[in-house]
Structure 1
Amino acid sequence: MNKIYDLFASIKLTVVLLLILAATSIFGTVIPQDWQPFQYQQHFGDFGYRVIQFFSLTDMYHSWWFQLLMSILVVNLLVCTLKRLPKTMKVVKISNPSVSRERIQKMRIRDAIESKLSLEKSWEAALDVIRKAFPRIHLVKQDDGSKGVIAEKGRYSRFAVYAVHFSILLILAGALIGSFTGFDGFMNIDEGTENNIVITFGKRKMIELPFRVRCDKFTVTFYKTGQPKDYVSDLKVIKNGEVVKAKDIRVNDPLRYDGISFFQSNYGVNLKSAKIKLVDHKTGREIDVTLPYRQTVNIPGSDYQMQLVDFKEDFSGFGPALGIMIFKKDSEPTGSWILVNFPKFHGNLLGPYKVTVDSVEKRYYTGLQVKKDPGVWVVWVGCTLLMIAIALTFYTSHRRVWVRAEASNPGSVIYLSGNCSKHRSAFRKEFEMLVKEIKRQVSDS
């Protein structure tokens, strides 16, 4: 048990974990996240894709082993903090309030001031300087008739390193909260329609939102080169049949509602409807039919029904094509691809009908990245605290001075010594200024 405790209390373990996390983060940066399976197979081959899939590198930051590494680091920081905190508390606390001449003379930073003033007057002058320079003083009762004081400032700077630990724990906790309770996925909404289903990246899970998002209008503008210049989605959040929030979103200007962010990610074109002409093989009767996308339509004067189920911009090099199914009630449906630009194509057949396409109506869809990260505010608080804690760690120090005044013949002698947790050269200059000011006050008195 002690070995396990010592392992988790080891700084070496912290360094190793940080190096592993840094190295694995390179994989998460080099290997694209949340691609489609065929994209990984095209770029890395079948074997490479199997390796990537085995180690969950398609969504690495949500993988079990990455979460395990962060959890171990959290435990490591907690144990390190709990092990070292009592020692720091002991150093901060003045456990031995002795101001002996021998102790002062053993310290590296020390000085002595001889004065012609009596002990009481020289001590009063020295104490006045000490009080102005140090906010915290501790008067020490001496048994030999001398005077003593221990003064300090910056005592809490010793806890700055624990603030660093705590801020890192907050960042890791926020990341774990987001990893376990949040999600990152996408949602496509046709212009004029609404949706509440999010498909997550990586594992491709379906998440049903407790509200619906409607895209009333999608607008895209282009450069002269044909590249998209700007695209805007007019979104409305609908809950219990009422619009609770509305916003025009564009790239880097998302809509946020109920802790969920909707980012403008991409756009595309979907089929809205198609007008087709049916010619009966036997009778030669012509029927004009409008097929809304993915809606069942009855064929006038027959028992047949049709549904436009799919659309391809380029079907095997023959241009746009419609995927249409035909069926009767209580019968298995059949279907075929109908070429839009080749009305005389012999394959444009559905059941008893020859099919030609009169027109196709398309509409834009907006592609949204949908993200929920409940831990993001915890991460931001941790980052802010980390910046403050690092500044305190590097630019503040715990400084103490021991002052002893004793009577001599004639006058009195003031002995001083000092110590600091870091920045020794700066403290030495501060100590010299303190001694100089005490000398001046003693001589002026």
Structure 2
Amino acid sequence: MSEPTSSDDTSGVPAYGHTRDTETGAAPLAPKEFLRWTWRQLTSMRTALILLFLLALGAIPGSVIPQDNVDALLAAQWRREHTTLAPIYEKLGLFSVYDSAWFAAIYLLLMISLVGCILPRTRVYLRAALARPPKTPRNLSRLPEYRTFTTDDESDAVLERAQAALRGYRVDRHDDSLSAERGYLREAGNLLFHLSVLIVLVGFASGSLLGYKGGVIVVTGGQFANVASQYDEFDPGTLFDDKNLKPFSFKLTDFKVNFIKQGREIGMAQKFSAGLDYQTGPNAKQQHTRIEVNHPLSIDGSKVYLIGHGYAPNVTVRDGNGKIAFSGPVVFTPEDSSFRSSGVIKVPDADPKQLGFRGEFYPTYGFTDATGPFSAYPDAKNPALVLLAYAGDLGMDRGVPQSVYALDTDGLKQLTKSNGKMFRVELEKGQTQALPNGLGSITFNGVDRFVKLQVSRNPGGWIALLGMILALTGLLGSLFIRPRRIWVSVRREGGRTVVEVAGLDRSSGGNLTDRVDDLVGSLEEKKA
């Protein structure tokens, strides 16, 4: 059977009375309606949960991938070792996750979603909390928990005993019944939990805006003063002024580390700590403390964390005139778990030519034809330096900033032996090696240790802590507070009082049997 057509219909109304919208689809939303729909979607609980999940997911790269504002050296090393992924991660902002635009967008959308979700629910909750308990239903027998009995007591006496027994409930007395309700704080617990998430986000945001984070490498015996120029990396908050840095200083007195000497984890650093002599001001008394991983030093609202360590070979370089052009420790950054470390030595004051060295330090030197030089153990049992030497112009006078951990060889020439072969500096502790062409010498005096410290100030930390406490309180309230309703109805029949008791547990898995039975027991007349 074929469907009729309306080819001759000139009224513009389709067959069977269908409107044109059903054939072409729903009419597009007006701009105002579209904005209203978008707002409802953004402020829904489902969207808030999705954004919260995305925020947690987005924080994973910040914990796995080295961050520029936390450890620039480690981030640079990661870039060198992953030349394919590094450009991609750079474009995605994965080396500075918490400063990236996409992370900030998720953060702001989550805050807006939570505010838009909490405010309407709060209004609904306040109306419900201020309202009286619901009136007694006409047919109490339909409720999950229902009991009935008769007694010789008067109706008013029964209702008075019921009101006294329902202590802790909000009771509304009627002529022949009463309504009781409790558990209003359950929804308050839910609202408090959602509000606490917002408070935690505000705490983290205020810490990022008003606080700062800086990294500094200090060699044993070295000192640090809390001024911006002393930091190797300094990441202030958007609203933080460098002038607000608290005046404190400290000196690294010693560094202790224990390496595992047996088992599969041999050579791993088991425990390390640094000794600090610190002052909270120029006229303050000097104090001593030790810091370990996850046990920072708190100074006037700032915290000093121990996050890494390594070796700083101590060398002396004499120039072609026999004068000491450089002497002191040089930080070499670890490359692997055996603390094979790489670094550069720049000697701009050498004469007649500036000198530069680039190479590796081995705490416990080893060598095989298959692997070449390597470090057999992370502790400094047999330290050695292997360097390539350069002479010429270090480029430090060109006005272009240079990293202290990289050597610009554009204006330098690598030194070679008289036979034209590559010259290599190979030194054990206490040894001196002359440079070709009378350019001087280099001496390996010994080994110092350095520590990588992170100094940070987070004024929003207490706000985030408060949010966590409120979250726990709200979660406990929403889990253990049960909203319940109980009704007691009385009527006189045949000279006796018929009493009906019913209860409703509004939470899933609730059981009012015992509570209703106890109430019935307290209302029944006492038998002689």
**Fold similarity call, TM over 0.5:** yes
SS in 2 for 1:102: coil
1:297–1:307 contact (8 Å) kept in structure 2: yes
Counterpart of 1:155, as a letter, is Y
Q: Quote the Cα distance in structure 2 between the aligned partners of 1:266 and 1:306.
A: 36
From 41, 63, 68, the equivalent of 2:100 is: 63
From 163, 166, 169, the equivalent of 1:136 is: 169
Q: Quote the Cα distance in structure 1 between the aligned partners of 2:277 and 2:235.
A: 27
Counterpart of 2:96, as a letter, is D
- CA 1:68–1:356 in structure 2 vs 1: closer, same or farther (change >3 Å)? same
Q: Quote the Cα distance in structure 1 between the aligned partners of 2:153 and 2:267.
A: 92
1:182 matches 2:242: no
SS in 2 for 1:268: strand
1:260 matches 2:289: no
1:39 matches 2:78: yes
CA displacement 1:58-109 (0-9 Å, x = unmatched): 121332321221221111111111112222233333347644x626456454
Counterpart of 2:183, as a letter, is G
Q: Quote the Cα distance in structure 1 between the aligned partners of 2:130 and 2:436.
A: 95
When structure 1 is superposed on structure 2, of 379-388 and 290-299 the one drifting more is: 290-299
Counterpart of 1:260, as a letter, is S
Match of 1:436 in 2: 521
2:304–2:453 contact (8 Å) kept in structure 1: yes
Counterpart of 1:292, as a letter, is S
Q: What does residue range 48-87 of structure 1 map to in structure 2 within 5 Å?
A: 48-87=85-124
Counterpart of 1:249, as a letter, is I
- CA 1:291–1:431 in structure 2 vs 1: closer, same or farther (change >3 Å)? same
Match of 2:180 in 1: 151
When structure 1 is superposed on structure 2, of 238-247 and 259-268 the one drifting more is: 238-247
Q: What does residue range 81-120 of structure 1 map to in structure 2 within 5 Å?
A: 81-95=118-132, 98-99=135-136, 102=138, 104=140, 107-120=143-156
Q: Quote the Cα distance in structure 2 between the aligned partners of 1:169 and 1:41.
A: 39
- Superposition RMSD in Å: 4.2
Q: Quote the Cα distance in structure 1 between the aligned partners of 2:292 and 2:62.
A: 27
Match of 1:368 in 2: 453
From 42, 46, 51, the equivalent of 1:17 is: 51
When structure 1 is superposed on structure 2, of 109-118 and 154-163 the one drifting more is: 109-118
Q: Quote the Cα distance in structure 2 between the aligned partners of 1:231 and 1:129.
A: 67
Q: Quote the Cα distance in structure 2 between the aligned partners of 1:312 and 1:243.
A: 42
Counterpart of 1:385, as a letter, is L
Q: Quote the Cα distance in structure 1 between the aligned partners of 2:154 and 2:324.
A: 116
Q: Quote the Cα distance in structure 2 between the aligned partners of 1:50 and 1:275.
A: 38
Counterpart of 1:437, as a letter, is S
SS in 1 for 2:436: coil
CA displacement 1:225-277 (0-9 Å, x = unmatched): 6654543322133344245543112333221212322222222233555264x
Match of 1:161 in 2: 190
Query: Gaps (5+ residues) in structure 2?
Result: 1-34, 69-73, 330-345, 363-371, 374-384, 400-410, 416-423
Q: Quote the Cα distance in structure 2 between the aligned partners of 1:416 and 1:343.
A: 100
1:270 matches 2:270: no
2:133–2:179 contact (8 Å) kept in structure 1: no
Q: What does residue range 220-299 of structure 1 map to in structure 2 within 5 Å?
A: 220-224=257-261, 228-241=269-282, 242-243=284-285, 245-272=287-314, 274=316, 276=318, 287=322, 289=324, 291-293=326-328
Q: Quote the Cα distance in structure 2 between the aligned partners of 1:420 and 1:240.
A: 62
Counterpart of 1:171, as a letter, is V
2:165–2:522 contact (8 Å) kept in structure 1: no
CA displacement 1:98-135 (0-9 Å, x = unmatched): 44x626456454333211233344x2xx5335423432
- CA 1:411–1:297 in structure 2 vs 1: closer, same or farther (change >3 Å)? closer
CA displacement 1:164-189 (0-9 Å, x = unmatched): 11111122222222333334442111
1:183–1:373 contact (8 Å) kept in structure 2: yes
When structure 1 is superposed on structure 2, of 222-231 and 312-321 the one drifting more is: 312-321
Match of 1:284 in 2: none
Q: Quote the Cα distance in structure 2 between the aligned partners of 1:252 and 1:141.
A: 62
1:272–1:292 contact (8 Å) kept in structure 2: yes
- CA 1:65–1:345 in structure 2 vs 1: closer, same or farther (change >3 Å)? same
Q: Quote the Cα distance in structure 2 between the aligned partners of 1:155 and 1:339.
A: 78
1:414 matches 2:455: no
- CA 1:135–1:279 in structure 2 vs 1: closer, same or farther (change >3 Å)? closer
Q: Quote the Cα distance in structure 2 between the aligned partners of 1:161 and 1:257.
A: 38
Q: Quote the Cα distance in structure 2 between the aligned partners of 1:279 and 1:382.
A: 65
- CA 1:255–1:312 in structure 2 vs 1: closer, same or farther (change >3 Å)? farther
1:59–1:201 contact (8 Å) kept in structure 2: no
- CA 1:112–1:189 in structure 2 vs 1: closer, same or farther (change >3 Å)? same
- CA 1:403–1:221 in structure 2 vs 1: closer, same or farther (change >3 Å)? closer
Q: Quote the Cα distance in structure 1 between the aligned partners of 2:304 and 2:269.
A: 20
- CA 1:108–1:426 in structure 2 vs 1: closer, same or farther (change >3 Å)? closer
Structure 1 residue 52: deviation in Å? Answer: 0.9
Counterpart of 1:78, as a letter, is V
Counterpart of 2:48, as a letter, is T
Match of 1:283 in 2: none
1:340–1:357 contact (8 Å) kept in structure 2: no
Match of 1:384 in 2: 469
From 224, 237, 240, the equivalent of 1:195 is: 224
Q: Quote the Cα distance in structure 2 between the aligned partners of 1:271 and 1:4.
A: 62
Q: Quote the Cα distance in structure 2 between the aligned partners of 1:248 and 1:52.
A: 37
- CA 1:185–1:77 in structure 2 vs 1: closer, same or farther (change >3 Å)? same
- CA 1:436–1:358 in structure 2 vs 1: closer, same or farther (change >3 Å)? closer
- CA 1:231–1:38 in structure 2 vs 1: closer, same or farther (change >3 Å)? closer
Q: Quote the Cα distance in structure 2 between the aligned partners of 1:310 and 1:179.
A: 40
- CA 1:270–1:336 in structure 2 vs 1: closer, same or farther (change >3 Å)? farther
1:291–1:307 contact (8 Å) kept in structure 2: no
Q: Quote the Cα distance in structure 2 between the aligned partners of 1:135 and 1:54.
A: 60
Match of 1:400 in 2: 485
Counterpart of 2:327, as a letter, is P
- CA 1:406–1:424 in structure 2 vs 1: closer, same or farther (change >3 Å)? farther
1:59–1:202 contact (8 Å) kept in structure 2: no
Structure ranking higher on relative contact order (CA contacts 8 Å, 6+ apart)? 1
Structure 1 residue 410: deviation in Å? Answer: 0.9
Q: Quote the Cα distance in structure 2 between the aligned partners of 1:109 and 1:292.
A: 88
2:435–2:442 contact (8 Å) kept in structure 1: no
